[in-house]
Homo-oligomer: A and B are copies of this chain.
Amino acid sequence: MITTIEGGITAPAGFRAAGVHCGIKANPEKLDLALVVSDTPATAAAVFTTNLAVAPPIVVSREHLQASRGQARAVVINSGCANACTGDQGRQVAHLMAAETARAVDCDLEEVLVMSTGVIGVQLDPRTVTQGVIDAADTLAADGHMRAALAIMTTDPFPKERAVEVASPRGTFRVGGICKGSGMIEPRMATMLGVLTCDAAVPAPLLQRALSEVTEHTFNAITVDGECSTNDCVALLANGASGVSLGQADLPLLEDALYEVCRFLATEIVRGGEGATKLVTVHVTGARSYEDAKQAARAIANSLLVKTAIHGGDPNWGRLVAVAGRAGVAFQLSSAAVRIGDVVLFEAGRPYDERAPLAADYLQGKDIAVAVDLGTGGSDEATMWTCDLSKEYVQINAEYRT
């Protein structure tokens, strides 16, 4: 049985967290450096951005995870500066962040993962982050979850955390997590920063398998603006502090627990997307393959015309058909169908535009579901989550640096 509990990323036993202001952000009230530490050795897994303009912290984290063969003790994260496109100097600072963390929490260098988020192309000041790591290590606490969640935010309107307790025949264990999102959110990778903790003991390869599978259906099934960042990363640490050990046979159990946490966090990212006023669930059915279904759902979820129509409460179902038709997947217009909420507006190639007012009423809500059947007769399906596109998105992103 899986129960939602308080405590976010420090709900699992043996994890401490901290969030401090070290000066990367100008506003002294904004936290800008987070630290998550396992008191004992932990296995680790991670999913990284597929962007080829990959940022130095991601390069460092990937190297460390490989060198440690899936072991980690700490994750250090700064916000306010992505340390991306920063060349050799950026690599040195990312290494420094890891080294200072290893020294402060007394672990091997390779047991530290580094993440950064914020503006691209600006150098991170080495003295500022060094002081931040020292301050964070000094304030690590078993109830530090919310400060860590706050310290990784950029334009996020609210912090995002979640924790669950799993009662199983193997015993009781917990999974917790924090994440940040807001802009540059695209589904082809984790599309954001996320840190997950688990107090079961899980072999590293199994942990990686579970994280990759769950990410595909949660963090990789959301989009705000179709942008894949240079810094995207989700990491998961499992330290065994609960006394529970999970093996191959427990993979479904672990995935269920992770799914519960990650789906909540992923949809929270969409709800908190830049300028978002509605959470939109896009469900595509009647596809020839899961890949086709996901590709069509992604195209719909990224369509400016769909997102603006939903923002305006306009049941412009024709735009859904048009996007499905250009999505690059098998599509049969004469058998296709479109539903907004429970209202069928197009079926078997025939429009029912007279039902548009019903759909318009439904679109006044905050939680919107749209469904498209690709009409191929196939039985594969996929779900994506997105938000509407508002003038506020434009405002936020036209003035991000100024």
Given A230-B321, A305-B397; A346-B85 close (CB under 8 Å): yes
Say whether A209 faces chain B, with CB atoms less than 8 Å apart. no
Say whether A257 faces chain B, with CB atoms less than 8 Å apart. no
Is the pair A309, B184 in contact by a Cβ cutoff of 8 Å?
Answer: no
Stretch of A4-12, A169-177, A325-333 with 4 or more beta carbons under 8 angstroms from chain B: A325-333
Question: Which one of A121, A308, A346, A351 has the highest number of Cβ atoms from chain B below 10 Å of its Cβ?
Answer: A121
Is the pair B321, A85 in contact by a Cβ cutoff of 8 Å?
Answer: yes
Given A53-B333, A120-B318, A122-B351; A304-B226 close (CB under 8 Å): yes
| Shortest Cβ distance from residue A347 to the other chain B in the assembled complex, whole angstroms | 10
Task: Name A183's contact: one of B51, B305, B345 (CB within 8 Å).
Answer: B305
Is the pair A322, B394 in contact by a Cβ cutoff of 8 Å?
Answer: no
Is the pair B400, A331 in contact by a Cβ cutoff of 8 Å?
Answer: no
Say whether A393 faces chain B, with CB atoms less than 8 Å apart. yes
Say whether A203 faces chain B, with CB atoms less than 8 Å apart. no
Say whether A103 faces chain B, with CB atoms less than 8 Å apart. no
Chain B residues whose CB sits within 8 angstroms of the CB of A346 once the complex forms: 85, 121
Is the pair A397, B121 in contact by a Cβ cutoff of 8 Å?
Answer: no
Chain B residues whose CB sits within 8 angstroms of the CB of A398 once the complex forms: 308-309, 311-314
Chain B residues whose CB sits within 8 angstroms of the CB of A121 once the complex forms: 317-318, 321, 345-346, 351, 353
Given A312-B399, A346-B85, A351-B86; A54-B325 close (CB under 8 Å): yes
Is the pair A52, B228 in contact by a Cβ cutoff of 8 Å?
Answer: no
Say whether A364 faces chain B, with CB atoms less than 8 Å apart. no
Is the pair A52, B227 in contact by a Cβ cutoff of 8 Å?
Answer: no
Chain B residues whose CB sits within 8 angstroms of the CB of A247 once the complex forms: none
Say whether A50 faces chain B, with CB atoms less than 8 Å apart. yes
Nearest B-chain residue to A395, judged by Cβ: B391
Say whether A349 faces chain B, with CB atoms less than 8 Å apart. yes
Say whether A295 faces chain B, with CB atoms less than 8 Å apart. no
Within the assembled complex, what's the spacing in Å between the Cα atoms of A376 and B319?
38
Within the assembled complex, what's the spacing in Å between the Cα atoms of A349 and B139?
36
| Shortest Cβ distance from residue A79 to the other chain B in the assembled complex, whole angstroms | 15
Nearest B-chain residue to A334, judged by Cβ: B87
Task: Name A401's contact: one of B51, B85, B314, B399 (CB within 8 Å).
Answer: B314
Chain B residues whose CB sits within 8 angstroms of the CB of A351 once the complex forms: 85-87, 121-123
Chain B residues whose CB sits within 8 angstroms of the CB of A316 once the complex forms: 119-120, 400-401
Chain B residues whose CB sits within 8 angstroms of the CB of A38 once the complex forms: none
Within the assembled complex, what's the spacing in Å between the Cα atoms of A229 and B395?
27
Question: Which one of A87, A316, A322, A349 has the highest number of Cβ atoms from chain B below 10 Å of its Cβ?
Answer: A322
Within the assembled complex, what's the spacing in Å between the Cα atoms of A293 and B264?
38
Given contacts A304-B397, A312-B397, A393-B394, 6 further A-B contacts (CB under 8 A): A53-B325, A53-B331, A120-B319, A227-B304, A228-B322, A313-B398
Task: Provide a sorted-by-A list of 9 A–B residue pairs whose CB atoms are within 8 angstroms.
Answer: A52-B332, A52-B333, A53-B322, A120-B316, A121-B351, A225-B304, A227-B305, A230-B325, A393-B394
Binding site for B on A (CB under 8 A): 50-54, 82, 84-88, 119-123, 183-184, 186, 188, 225-230, 303-305, 308-309, 311-314, 316-319, 321-326, 331-334, 336, 345-346, 349-351, 353, 389-391, 393-395, 397-402
**4 cross-chain pairs, A with B, having the tightest CB-CB distances, nearest first:** A120-B318, A312-B398, A53-B325, A308-B397
